[in-house]
Amino acid sequence: MDAMSDVIRAHVIMPRDLLAEVDKLVGSRRRSEFIVEAVRERMRQERQSRALREAPILDLAEHPEWVDSSKWVHDLRQADQRHIDEKLCGWGAQ
């Protein structure tokens, strides 16, 4: 779909100094593009924030490995190191 095929003009009221900053940054000819991009980014942030607020909370009784995440990370790193050691021990023996 063409970027301009489904647009509508909107009357937006904003502080004069903010509009001047936008114009200084991107120029008055790119004002709408900049504002659309800024609104899209803010909408993404709001959707993400809402999803996090509405997400079910992890029940630590069901997932004891998350109580002490530093131990979990340590155990993962140890497993990775064991895997690397196993691969390296076999290297060159062929």
Domains of the chain, by residue range, sit at: 1-55, 61-94
Question: Could you read off the pLDDT of 7-53 as tens digits, one per residue?
Answer: 999 999 999 999 999 999 999 999 999 999 999 999 999 999 999 88
What integer pLDDT is reported at residue 38 of this predicted model?
96
Question: Could you read off the pLDDT of 48-79 as tens digits, one per residue?
Answer: 999 988 888 878 888 877 777 788 788 889 99
Are the CB atoms for 78 and 84 separated by under 8 Å?
no
Pairwise CA distance, residues 81 & 76, whole Å? 9
Percentage of the chain with pLDDT > 70? 90
Paired tokens of 63: 């997932």
